[in-house]
Amino acid sequence: MMKESNEHHVSVEDQGYSAWLGYPPLPQGRLQEQYVKWCGAVSVTEADDTVQAALAEWNKGIVAMLAIQVQADQELSTGALRVAIGTFGGGNTLIRSVFKEADIRKVEREGFAIRTSADHNCIAVGAASPVGVLYGVFHLLRLLGTLQEIEELDVTVNPVNGLRMINHWDNFDGSVERGYAGRSFFYENNRFTGDMGRIRDYARLMSSTGINAIAINNVNVHALETLFISEYLPEVASIADVFRLYGIRLFLSVNFAGPMHEGEVGTADPLDPGVRSWWQRKAADIYQAIPDFGGFVVKADSENRPGPFTYGRDHADGANMLAEALEPYGGIVIWRCFVYNCKQDWRDRKTDRARAAYDHFKPLDGKFKDNVILQIKNGPMDFQVREPVSPLFGALERTNQVIEFQIAQEYTGQQRHVCYLVPQWKEVLEFNTNAKGEASPVKHIVDGSLWGNRYSGIAAVSNVGNDLNWTGHLLAQANLYGYGRLAWNPELSAEEIAGEWIALTFGQDPTTAAVISRILLDSWEIYESYTAPLGVGWMINPEHHYGPNVDGYEYSQWGTYHYADNCGIGVDRTVQSGTGYSSQYIGSNAARYDSLEECPDELLLFFHHVPYTHVLHSGKTVIQHIYDTHFAGAERAEELLALWGSLQGSLREDLYVQVEERLQGQAAHAKEWRDQINTYFFRKSGIMDASQRTIY
């Protein structure tokens, strides 16, 4: 059973535990005076738990930022200024007076409206649902924390994406697969931790950025985790109760072979009546315990996970069987498209893992039930620092789909190196698939607007653990915050999101903001420059995926992935001489990637095998580009440390020291990358560095 624990206590110097909900004090001045004038009192009439959570958050934020106690509405004179919070139908006369029917009709279920009304002496935060009220309060607090004007507010805000999801890869033993911030705060030693205070604080953080769904266990489901849908349901329900307060639906990853693992059915064949009945019984039990249970996340027939292939069935057969069990309750099945044969012989240059997702799922378009969503990784491989957008986006016209990002920096420094990923995600979302002519970007596929999908949205692999600052590297919090904000509104820029996070986490000092913003916005380019060049990917130690290993592709026993020899490097994915992967794209994208002359430099080695002397669009040869970027990347990594050093004395010591330590490690490790990569290619190619720098 779960132990009772309702509070998570942290010290005054909290090491970053409060993250962007620490509410740093605001500087004295005109705006601070404006906020004090309007925000010193609050009107709330609803007893709903989520509305009350919004009220508690408002009080917490105002006390911390403005150093004033918030008065309750009934303590005020009639004409006093106040903030009114509530649903449109919740009985608050100020909300009903400020917002007219035309205003209310514009607000969707999770959206909200905020209006400053001089006539009614209030700033009204209204919404159609309690969770909309909560999102509205977080938004108004964010406006204060980023020093925005509030005297003429008139905004209606609805989330762009319906599903805004976090996938945890936490295991019941307490480990976290690809976990770079400590162990799980859900589980330890095959028990639930019962740390409901921390779980509640986590739900607050996620809700503040608009997250509305969380899968709490690893997609690689182990034997004991199969019991989450039976023996451990009371413990799972306790977490769902906390999530519900903050508008978050709980999901579970399930093992496709569950009926066999629990010993009740001797098969997992999705067309077997006994299997179908087993899942239907389990679904009924789950919804009895968790009425708003979100559904199942499934990884099947990939990397040795069980699935429908064992029985000669396809992915639609498997997903639809589970969807049938969840359908009566409004549940959904999220079926991952990360499916490939990890035992392929990579020495055969016609074999191509990049083709796998498209080859498996394109023929099944339109065959999935309405409550099945395909979860597609942003690229065809595995969250590399640079790879093209998955061609499945644009190819599936009749299937619900979400894009999957990885907040956890599995191949981008594992939260030991700073690598702000929002610019990468923005680039992916803006990619034009050509699926419906010129205006068919990925963002309009995943928000459902291009094809009119019933379900759509964004999911991402979590980067949190039980480290006190949640993410190991304090600056990795920017990825967690940025993911939620981008999922809510993909039109936000990487610069805007970084600016918000910096202000909400570190306060309003402009010098601090400029330095941290520069570090974040340069970091992806810097990391890429000293690791894998020109889109070739991998070059990283297998299994744990940290550190340089040029021939270290996961399944290197089947051959070197990048095909480097003494003549050249790269993977030929062209139609005429390669794997034909380039043909999976539509129109001009297919032509551009297939053409050696037109292929973008940053993806050249992903699509083409070229001599080291091949001249890039930049005017450099491939080999000189490798040398130059790796030298420059190591230098720039060292500059990040110097930049951070300029903030010593102007930041809280508990925050300054932990980032300094990580940047010291990154600077040293970037040199290791530089030396190993450059040495490898110097010895392969025999071509000297034109700048005559030392290469061992």
Could you tell me whether strands 191-192 and 187-188 are parallel, antiparallel, or unpaired per DSSP bridges?
A: antiparallel
Whole-Å CA distances, 339 to 305, 312, 346, 375, 541: 10, 16, 16, 11, 22
635: how many CB neighbours lie within 10 A of its CB?
A: 16
Q: What is the DSSP string of 599-656?
A: S-GGGHHHH--EETTPBPTTS-BHHHHHHHHHHHHHHHHHHHHHHHHTTTTTS-HHHH
Residue found by looking up tokens 């949205």 in the block: 457
* Gap between the Cα atoms of 644 and 180, Å rounded: 22
Q: What is the 3-state secondary structure (H, E, C) of 287-324?
A: HHHCCCCCEEEECCCCCCCCCHHHHCCCHHHHHHHHHH
Contacts of 502 (CB under 8 A, 6+ apart): 478, 512, 513, 516, 517, 520
Give the separation between CA 657 and CA 489, rounded to whole angstroms. 33
CA neighbor of 20 nearest in space, from 129, 158, 144, 157: 144
Query: What is the Cα–Cα distance from 168 to 620, expressed in whole angstroms?
Result: 42
In sequence order, the β-bridge partners of residue 123 are 83, 116
Sheet holding 122-127, edge to edge: 71-72, 41-43, 82-87, 122-127, 112-117, 154-157
Provide the total of helices (H) and of strands (E) in the chain, helices listed first. Answer: 20, 18
Query: Nearest-CA neighbor of 275 among 294, 293, 257?
Result: 257
Query: Is the torsion defined by CA of 659, 186, 455, 406 positive or negative?
Result: positive
Per the DSSP assignment, residues forming a β-bridge with 334 are 297, 373
Tell me if 509 sits within 8 A of 499, measured CB to CB: no
Residues ≥6 apart with Cβ < 8 Å to 180: 408, 409, 414, 415, 416, 463, 465, 471, 472, 473, 476
How many alpha carbons lie under 13 Å from residue 351 in its C-beta half-sphere?
A: 15
Amino acid at residue number 289: A
Active-site residues, by number, are 303, 382, 410
Rounded alpha-carbon distances, angstroms, from residue 324 to 279, 284, 311: 9, 12, 19
Cβ within 8 Å of residue 59, ≥6 positions away: 42, 70
578 Cβ contact partners less than 8 Å away, ≥ 6 residues apart? 349, 350, 571, 572, 607, 609
Beta strand residue intervals within 400-518, DSSP E: 401-406, 456-461
Instruction: Give the separation between CA 367 and CA 315, rounded to whole angstroms.
Output: 10
Pairing of strands 122-127, 568-569: unpaired
Q: Quick one: which of 107, 165, 158 has its CA closest to 457?
A: 165
